[in-house]
Structure 1
Amino acid sequence: MTLFRWRSGQSPRHAEYSWLFLPCSPAARESPDVRSTRCDPAYCGVWEQQREEDRTGQRLDIKVPPKCTSADFLKNSYWSNRGKLDVSQERFISYPGASPESDTSLLLGWAGWNHRDQADALVGLLRSRVETGGWEKEDARFVPLLAGLCEVIPWVHQWHGGHDEEWDGNPAEEFQATLDNGRVERGLSESDLTNWRPKKKTRGRKKSA
């Protein structure tokens, strides 16, 4: 999938559109407290049941997860895009920290991509940063990309789990193999990815005159 670059200093109007994109990794957009809740097996089980209901058409007794509030998101713009049901309304997906060394401007993808295409963009970034980006395999910048792939892969299995003529293969199996290999090569477990949190930005204290 084709990504494009966001150069925030290029135009004064760019700041008006920065609220239109959200990070690919859920931990980079959700507050630590709500992220801990969503990593809980009980919460994850709700979505597993939903996927099972979608697959089989059999009605299940699924508990309704709690609705979101603005405190559940790291930025008000994230809350504005997702709302109380955490439904995607943003225009773009951002990939913070995933740019090559030669150009560190923010990479963006189209939020209208289906789950297969979202996974394809992440897999493309993972491969290119190893093959041509000069990143070492143990580079910490791979972790949020793998975390983003870990989040989207269950939906790829659900909606693209069979042979895809356009893809000429099974995209879910291919992406799952990339995720598994990416974790093994870096000594990461699935819980390492779901529990990953971005480092808090610290502001340096001004030196006294």
Structure 2
Amino acid sequence: MRNLKGVKVLLVDDEPHIIQFLELGLSNEGFEIRTAHDGMTAVNLASTFRPHIVVLDVMMPGIDGWEVCRLLKKELSNVSIIMLTAKDEVEDRVKGLTIGADDYVVKPFSFEELLARIGARLRNQFPALFGEVSYGPFCIDDRRKEISYQGQVLDLSPTEHELLKYLLINHGIVLSKTTILDQVWGYDFGGEENIVEVYIRSLREKLNDKEHRLIRTLRGAGYRVDLP
């Protein structure tokens, strides 16, 4: 991901070695970093630092990550929060989405995965930082709400646009149907998971992806976009 000067990231975790590891890595990527080791410090710091991204641990002494997330979403009009969770429980994910979390990463995680998710959140929530963004043969123009493939603007419905955009900005990451439903349709969507299959099939037809080389199906896991 291209270095983005001026992008602010707040790291919140009570484990010093995690903070040190992430601060070093993200600073080297060009981000402006602030750190906090407890929830109240994070809330107070965020009000002056005004971060674009908050990487927030769930389990902390005092105010836990859920409450910090709720307070930050109330305090800041436009902030993206990535929760760090110790286990991949549906209840935790739903709770986080309900109170405003934008994404979550399960510990232990790789730095590359977190960096990819930060990039995805920035492109999704702060498109003005990027303008047109290219991914292999694709180009997303958020100002025009268009996606081009091999130089041709695709004829997409609003939902197809959001789904393809989500797949592209998370390229290389396996996305389950449940995750896609949460992020594209919303956590309160009351329909069936197979709606994802219907829209994936439609996208493949419009991309002439008959052999599923662009949008791959990983049986039992979900979908992954592989860019040439």
TM-score of the pair, normalised by structure 2: 0.28
- Higher RCO, 1 or 2 (CA under 8 Å, sep at least 6)? 1
TM-score of the pair, normalised by structure 1: 0.29
